[in-house]
Amino acid sequence: MKLLSFTTALLATLTAAHPVFDDLITPFTPLDYKRAPAASLRQISNFGSNPSNAKMYIYVPDNLAASPPIIVAIHYCTGTAQAYYTNSPYARLADQKGFIVIYPESPYSGTCWDVSSHATLTHNGGGNSNSIANMVDYTLKTYNGDATKVFVTGSSSGAMMTNVMAATYPALFAAGIVYSGVPAGCFYSQAGGTNAWNSSCANGQVNGTPQVWAKVVRDMYPGYEGARPKMEIYHGSADTTLNANNYNETIKQWAGVFGFDYLKPDTTQDNVPQSGYTTYTWGKGKLVGVYARGVGHSVPIRGSDDMEFFGL
């Protein structure tokens, strides 16, 4: 993997201008998060190799499906597995649909995820991404999970890690949903920092061509030629934590991976799924972009819409 070379190529494109999509998707009515799930959140300490010391928590509903799907739900900076379990809809939806939810927890002070190191940006590289992939493997084996229905999603730092998981372990996931993140590799630290902040990326100053961004993804798993997860990208136009230009760059990244023209979406739907949101699709839904006008950091989770995208 040649991270220095692709970062150099990426930074060389900083002055390139790319249009902002002003119309994307709108959400459904949020679920009632106050209703307690029927089962309980449990920590799993012996899930296998854990090179980055991330923690694993799991929610297994009482009405578990015979071969259950799995959703990996990744928290934001300052968050915890417990907080994301409580404040996201996935455990309640698991009660309805019989899937399992894995809630990883960051091992670092401040609980951001490592999306900057060579280790985490490499397939089986020994970083956070490796630990999370091993959580999935454990769950598939322990609960006879459906390996064709494994999904990943997250908010903010968890959204960044969602892009990284889709890039480093493409064969593991059928789909990913990103709530207000940055492209995979955008936070890469040339100094070798683990869990490092990248102000240039956060401020929307890293711009690349679809070809450069696609190479960033492919370099995370050299030689991989198999299927890749479909992706849905949410971002708010008023995001002051992770600038809205990161929406454009993430769309360009996955459009480049899939071979789509990011400037020519197949469909554009204004005020979908709600007023002020615009939804774009490419490749019959292989890539979906939802741009939320006037929404800050981060876009609220749309549980019902997520289930539809995941096919659950």
Active site residue 189: no
Burial 250-267 (b: 16+ CB within 10 A, else e): bbbbbbbbbebebeebee
CATH architecture for segment(s) 39-308: 3-Layer(aba) Sandwich (3.40)
* Spatial separation of the C-alpha atoms in residues 16 and 204, rounded to whole Å: 12
Please list the ranges in the chain whose pLDDT falls under 70.
Answer: 1-36
Predicted model pTM: 0.90
Phi, psi dihedrals of residue 235, rounded to the nearest 5°? -160, 145
- Tell me the domain boundaries of the chain: 39-308
Residue 35 has a pLDDT of 57
Residue 155 has a pLDDT of 98
Residue-wise pLDDT for 190-211, tens only, equals 999 999 999 999 999 999 999 9
Residue 39 has a pLDDT of 81
Choosing from 117, 129, 155, 156, the catalytic residue is 156
Residue 36 has a pLDDT of 66
* Spatial separation of the C-alpha atoms in residues 211 and 256, rounded to whole Å: 6
* Spatial separation of the C-alpha atoms in residues 56 and 107, rounded to whole Å: 10
Q: What single-letter amino acid sits at 31?
A: L
